[in-house]
Amino acid sequence: MLIATNAIVLKRIPYSDTSLICRIFTEDWGKVTILAKGVLRPKNVTGALLEPVNHIHIQYYNKSNRDIQILKNANFVQQYPKIRNDLSRIILGLAIVEIIDKATLDCNPYPVLYRLGWRVLDKLNDETQNFWLVFAFFLYQLSIRMGFMPNLKNCSKCLSEMSQGGIDNYTGELVCAKCVTQSQILLEENSFTLLQKITGLHLDDLQTLTIEKNSIFNPIRFLDIFTSFHIEGLKRVRSMEMVRNLINEENNKST
Protein backbone atom coordinates (compact mmCIF):
# COMPACT_ATOMS: atom_id res chain seq x y z
CA MET A 1 0.00 0.00 0.00
CA LEU A 2 1.29 3.45 -0.89
CA ILE A 3 1.00 5.84 2.06
CA ALA A 4 1.22 9.63 1.82
CA THR A 5 1.59 11.59 5.05
CA ASN A 6 3.44 14.46 6.70
CA ALA A 7 6.28 13.58 9.04
CA ILE A 8 9.03 14.92 11.29
CA VAL A 9 12.43 13.29 10.71
CA LEU A 10 13.73 11.89 14.01
CA LYS A 11 16.90 10.04 13.12
CA ARG A 12 18.97 8.87 10.18
CA ILE A 13 21.52 6.09 9.84
CA PRO A 14 23.65 5.59 6.70
CA TYR A 15 22.98 2.24 5.06
CA SER A 16 25.37 0.87 2.42
CA ASP A 17 27.25 3.61 0.55
CA THR A 18 24.32 5.43 -0.92
CA SER A 19 21.24 4.72 1.17
CA LEU A 20 19.71 5.80 4.48
CA ILE A 21 17.54 4.22 7.11
CA CYS A 22 15.37 6.89 8.73
CA ARG A 23 13.04 6.98 11.67
CA ILE A 24 10.21 9.39 11.01
CA PHE A 25 7.27 10.51 13.14
CA THR A 26 4.27 10.56 10.81
CA GLU A 27 1.04 12.42 11.32
CA ASP A 28 -1.20 9.46 10.50
CA TRP A 29 0.78 6.35 11.46
CA GLY A 30 3.10 7.43 14.25
CA LYS A 31 6.73 6.39 14.28
CA VAL A 32 7.82 4.51 11.15
CA THR A 33 11.22 3.29 9.92
CA ILE A 34 11.91 3.72 6.21
CA LEU A 35 14.67 2.73 3.83
CA ALA A 36 15.61 5.49 1.39
CA LYS A 37 17.52 3.80 -1.42
CA GLY A 38 20.18 5.71 -3.31
CA VAL A 39 19.44 9.08 -1.72
CA LEU A 40 23.11 9.71 -0.88
CA ARG A 41 24.14 9.53 -4.54
CA PRO A 42 25.47 12.80 -5.98
CA LYS A 43 22.70 14.94 -7.50
CA ASN A 44 20.03 13.21 -5.42
CA VAL A 45 18.14 15.93 -3.55
CA THR A 46 16.14 13.70 -1.22
CA GLY A 47 19.09 12.95 1.07
CA ALA A 48 19.12 16.54 2.35
CA LEU A 49 15.42 16.30 3.18
CA LEU A 50 15.95 13.34 5.44
CA GLU A 51 17.81 15.24 8.17
CA PRO A 52 16.59 15.08 11.76
CA VAL A 53 14.27 17.99 12.71
CA ASN A 54 13.01 18.49 9.12
CA HIS A 55 9.25 18.61 8.56
CA ILE A 56 8.47 16.77 5.33
CA HIS A 57 5.73 15.26 3.21
CA ILE A 58 6.50 11.68 2.35
CA GLN A 59 5.21 8.79 0.26
CA TYR A 60 6.27 5.26 1.11
CA TYR A 61 5.33 1.68 0.30
CA ASN A 62 3.96 0.07 3.43
CA LYS A 63 3.75 -3.62 4.21
CA SER A 64 2.47 -4.31 7.70
CA ASN A 65 4.51 -7.54 8.03
CA ARG A 66 7.74 -5.61 7.38
CA ASP A 67 9.68 -3.57 9.99
CA ILE A 68 11.22 -1.22 7.45
CA GLN A 69 9.14 0.50 4.79
CA ILE A 70 10.41 1.70 1.41
CA LEU A 71 10.54 5.41 0.55
CA LYS A 72 8.99 6.52 -2.72
CA ASN A 73 9.61 10.26 -2.48
CA ALA A 74 9.73 13.23 -0.10
CA ASN A 75 9.28 17.03 -0.14
CA PHE A 76 9.65 19.79 2.40
CA VAL A 77 6.61 20.93 4.35
CA GLN A 78 8.75 23.48 6.16
CA GLN A 79 12.46 24.23 6.00
CA TYR A 80 14.22 25.34 9.16
CA PRO A 81 17.24 27.46 8.15
CA LYS A 82 17.21 29.48 11.41
CA ILE A 83 17.42 26.29 13.44
CA ARG A 84 20.24 24.89 11.30
CA ASN A 85 22.32 28.08 11.46
CA ASP A 86 22.24 28.56 15.22
CA LEU A 87 24.10 26.15 17.50
CA SER A 88 21.74 26.60 20.47
CA ARG A 89 18.62 26.21 18.33
CA ILE A 90 19.87 23.07 16.58
CA ILE A 91 20.84 21.50 19.93
CA LEU A 92 17.31 22.15 21.23
CA GLY A 93 15.76 20.94 17.96
CA LEU A 94 17.72 17.68 18.08
CA ALA A 95 16.73 17.22 21.73
CA ILE A 96 13.05 17.72 20.82
CA VAL A 97 13.09 15.07 18.09
CA GLU A 98 15.10 12.62 20.19
CA ILE A 99 12.65 13.09 23.08
CA ILE A 100 9.73 12.38 20.71
CA ASP A 101 11.60 9.32 19.44
CA LYS A 102 12.24 7.93 22.93
CA ALA A 103 8.79 8.76 24.32
CA THR A 104 6.75 7.04 21.58
CA LEU A 105 6.13 3.49 20.38
CA ASP A 106 6.42 2.30 16.78
CA CYS A 107 3.36 2.46 14.53
CA ASN A 108 1.20 4.14 17.17
CA PRO A 109 -0.33 7.42 16.01
CA TYR A 110 0.03 10.37 18.41
CA PRO A 111 -1.66 13.18 16.44
CA VAL A 112 -1.54 15.64 19.34
CA LEU A 113 2.16 15.05 19.96
CA TYR A 114 2.85 15.28 16.23
CA ARG A 115 1.15 18.67 16.10
CA LEU A 116 3.01 19.85 19.20
CA GLY A 117 6.28 18.71 17.59
CA TRP A 118 6.08 20.62 14.32
CA ARG A 119 4.48 23.69 15.88
CA VAL A 120 7.28 23.95 18.43
CA LEU A 121 9.91 23.44 15.70
CA ASP A 122 8.27 26.23 13.68
CA LYS A 123 8.65 28.54 16.69
CA LEU A 124 12.24 27.44 17.20
CA ASN A 125 12.87 28.55 13.63
CA ASP A 126 11.46 32.01 14.43
CA GLU A 127 14.27 34.37 15.46
CA THR A 128 11.92 36.63 17.38
CA GLN A 129 11.14 33.80 19.81
CA ASN A 130 13.05 33.10 23.01
CA PHE A 131 14.12 29.55 22.18
CA TRP A 132 14.49 28.58 25.85
CA LEU A 133 10.87 29.50 26.50
CA VAL A 134 9.83 27.46 23.46
CA PHE A 135 11.78 24.48 24.78
CA ALA A 136 10.27 24.79 28.28
CA PHE A 137 6.82 24.98 26.69
CA PHE A 138 7.55 21.79 24.74
CA LEU A 139 8.68 19.84 27.82
CA TYR A 140 5.65 20.91 29.82
CA GLN A 141 3.15 20.15 27.03
CA LEU A 142 4.83 16.82 26.26
CA SER A 143 4.50 15.84 29.90
CA ILE A 144 0.78 16.67 29.91
CA ARG A 145 0.16 14.86 26.61
CA MET A 146 1.86 11.76 28.00
CA GLY A 147 -0.39 11.91 31.05
CA PHE A 148 1.80 13.58 33.68
CA MET A 149 0.86 17.02 34.90
CA PRO A 150 3.02 18.49 37.64
CA ASN A 151 0.98 20.07 40.42
CA LEU A 152 2.51 23.54 40.68
CA LYS A 153 0.14 24.79 43.34
CA ASN A 154 -0.07 22.32 46.20
CA CYS A 155 2.56 20.19 47.89
CA SER A 156 1.96 16.53 47.00
CA LYS A 157 2.63 15.51 50.62
CA CYS A 158 1.01 18.05 52.96
CA LEU A 159 -1.22 19.69 50.31
CA SER A 160 -0.32 23.19 51.51
CA GLU A 161 0.17 25.89 48.90
CA MET A 162 3.72 26.06 47.58
CA SER A 163 5.84 29.04 46.65
CA GLN A 164 9.08 27.08 46.74
CA GLY A 165 10.04 23.45 46.96
CA GLY A 166 11.67 20.49 45.26
CA ILE A 167 11.03 17.07 43.76
CA ASP A 168 10.32 14.09 45.99
CA ASN A 169 12.81 11.39 45.03
CA TYR A 170 10.31 8.56 45.45
CA THR A 171 7.17 9.93 43.83
CA GLY A 172 8.74 12.36 41.37
CA GLU A 173 6.16 14.95 42.45
CA LEU A 174 6.67 18.48 43.72
CA VAL A 175 6.80 18.99 47.48
CA CYS A 176 6.98 22.17 49.52
CA ALA A 177 10.10 23.49 51.25
CA LYS A 178 9.02 21.88 54.53
CA CYS A 179 8.37 18.41 53.10
CA VAL A 180 11.37 18.23 50.79
CA THR A 181 14.14 15.95 52.01
CA GLN A 182 16.65 15.46 49.26
CA SER A 183 15.87 16.89 45.87
CA GLN A 184 17.98 17.15 42.73
CA ILE A 185 16.65 20.66 42.37
CA LEU A 186 15.29 23.42 44.57
CA LEU A 187 12.74 25.67 42.95
CA GLU A 188 12.54 29.19 44.32
CA GLU A 189 9.53 31.45 44.07
CA ASN A 190 10.50 33.02 40.73
CA SER A 191 10.73 29.61 39.07
CA PHE A 192 7.29 28.64 40.34
CA THR A 193 5.82 31.88 39.04
CA LEU A 194 7.45 31.46 35.63
CA LEU A 195 6.37 27.82 35.35
CA GLN A 196 2.80 28.79 36.18
CA LYS A 197 2.89 31.48 33.50
CA ILE A 198 4.19 29.06 30.86
CA THR A 199 1.53 26.49 31.69
CA GLY A 200 -1.23 29.04 31.24
CA LEU A 201 -0.10 30.26 27.83
CA HIS A 202 -0.92 29.21 24.30
CA LEU A 203 2.14 28.65 22.09
CA ASP A 204 1.28 31.68 19.96
CA ASP A 205 1.20 33.88 23.08
CA LEU A 206 4.59 32.80 24.39
CA GLN A 207 6.08 35.94 22.87
CA THR A 208 4.06 38.13 25.22
CA LEU A 209 6.07 36.78 28.14
CA THR A 210 9.09 38.87 29.06
CA ILE A 211 11.56 37.12 31.32
CA GLU A 212 14.84 37.92 32.98
CA LYS A 213 17.75 36.22 31.32
CA ASN A 214 18.61 32.91 32.99
CA SER A 215 15.36 32.78 34.99
CA ILE A 216 14.18 30.06 32.59
CA PHE A 217 16.99 27.61 33.38
CA ASN A 218 15.71 26.32 36.71
CA PRO A 219 12.21 25.70 35.31
CA ILE A 220 13.81 23.77 32.41
CA ARG A 221 15.95 21.75 34.84
CA PHE A 222 12.82 20.92 36.80
CA LEU A 223 10.89 19.86 33.66
CA ASP A 224 13.89 17.78 32.56
CA ILE A 225 13.96 15.89 35.88
CA PHE A 226 10.16 15.60 36.03
CA THR A 227 9.76 14.20 32.50
CA SER A 228 12.75 11.85 32.88
CA PHE A 229 11.21 10.50 36.07
CA HIS A 230 7.72 9.89 34.70
CA ILE A 231 7.96 9.21 30.97
CA GLU A 232 9.45 5.87 30.09
CA GLY A 233 12.43 6.11 27.76
CA LEU A 234 13.41 9.68 28.60
CA LYS A 235 16.27 8.75 30.92
CA ARG A 236 18.34 7.89 27.89
CA VAL A 237 18.02 11.01 25.74
CA ARG A 238 21.62 11.66 24.71
CA SER A 239 21.09 15.11 23.24
CA MET A 240 19.70 16.32 26.59
CA GLU A 241 23.30 16.15 27.83
CA MET A 242 24.15 18.85 25.30
CA VAL A 243 21.18 20.91 26.45
CA ARG A 244 22.34 20.63 30.08
CA ASN A 245 25.86 21.70 29.09
CA LEU A 246 24.45 24.64 27.18
CA ILE A 247 22.47 25.73 30.24
CA ASN A 248 25.56 25.48 32.44
CA GLU A 249 27.60 27.53 29.96
CA GLU A 250 24.93 30.22 29.79
CA ASN A 251 24.75 30.34 33.57
CA ASN A 252 28.52 30.62 33.96
CA LYS A 253 28.68 33.41 31.40
CA SER A 254 26.52 35.65 33.53
CA THR A 255 28.00 34.95 36.97
Contact set with Zn ion (CB under 5 A): 155, 157-158, 176, 179
Q: In whole angstroms, how close is the CB of 188 to Zn ion at the nearest point?
A: 16
The least CB distance from residue 162 to Zn ion, in Å, is 7
CB of 143 to Zn ion, least distance (A): 21
State which residue, 50 or 155, has the beta carbon closest to Zn ion: 155
Strands 19-26 and 2-15: antiparallel
Would you say 144 or 158 has its CB closer to Zn ion?
158
Smallest distance, Å, CB 195 to Zn ion? 17
Q: Closest separation between CB of residue 187 and Zn ion, Å?
A: 13
Identity of the residue, 21 or 179, whose beta carbon is nearer to Zn ion in the bound complex: 179
Nearest approach in angstroms of CB 177 to Zn ion is 8
In whole angstroms, give the CA distance from residue 172 to residue 195: 17
b/e burial code for range 87-99 (CB count within 10 A of at least 16 → b): ebbbbbbbbbbbb
Q: How far is CA 34 from CA 24, 105, 111, 217, in A?
A: 8, 15, 19, 37
Q: How far apart are CA 218 and CA 185, in angstroms?
A: 8
Q: Cβ 182 to Zn ion, closest distance in Å?
A: 15
Residue closer to Zn ion by CB (options 160, 228) is 160
Q: Choose between 169 and 251: whose C-beta lies nearer to Zn ion.
A: 169
Nearer of residues 75 and 151 to Zn ion, judged by Cβ: 151
By beta-carbon proximity to Zn ion, the closer residue of 44 and 164 is 164
